Amino acid sequence: MAFALSSMQVTSSAFGNHQPIPGKYTGEGDDVSPPLAWQSGPDGTQGYAVICHDPDAPLVKEGSYGFVHWVLYNLPGDLAELTEKTALGTTGANDFGKQGYVGPMPPEGHGPHLYYFWVLALDHQTNLPEGLTLAELLKEVEPHLLGMNRLVGTYQRA
């Protein structure tokens, strides 16, 4: 299946869709991952993956654009939420070259950026090694994608 939006709904108790991400979840704050929840996953879902991407970052790297803040996978299919600063799943590589979540921190004076928190529903439970990049993860999960959707937060440095 191609990457297309599904009827799955993604929310956060910390911010609403197209609303500001609280400072706690940014590089200027505690830099911890926000709580996320999802419902109405597609029938047959056996696993999930989560990605946070900033398409507004003025970067182009190896044919992709923006900045990857979080790659998380090997999440079970019966999961419906991640708590703040979650320890669940397997972390992949972000564009800082580290593993785990790194919060929003666009360049000063760059204006507001959009941060897409994607949840991907998969037809099987993955057991992928840690440290995958976004491109490596997408290559692995694309054939198993049942549906996906996102929550979009905003952030602008003061």
Q: Which run of H or E residues covers position 136?
A: helix 134-141
The answer to pTM > 0.75 is yes
Q: How far apart are the first and last CA of the chain?
A: 41
Domain boundaries, the chain: 9-155
pLDDT, tens digit (0-9, with 9 covering 90-100), for 119-133:
999 999 999 999 999
Phi, psi of 140 (to 5 degrees): -70, -40
* Distance between CA atoms of residues 112 and 123, nearest Å: 35
- 72: phi > 0 → left, psi -120 to 50 → alpha, else beta; which? beta
Per-residue pLDDT tens for 62-71?
666 789 999 9
How far is it, in rounded angstroms, from Cα 43 to Cα 146?
Answer: 8
How crowded is residue 78: how many other Cβ atoms within 10 Å of its Cβ? 11
Cα dihedral 19, 23, 25, 27 sign: positive
Tens of pLDDT, residue by residue over 24-82, are 999 999 999 999 999 999 999 999 999 999 998 876 566 667 899 999 999 999 999 99
Fold of 9-155: Phosphatidylethanolamine-binding Protein (3.90.280)
Strand-pair partners of 149: 119
* Residues 6 or more apart whose Cβ sits within 8 Å of residue 126: 47, 49, 73, 74, 140, 141, 144
138's enclosing H/E stretch is: helix 134-141
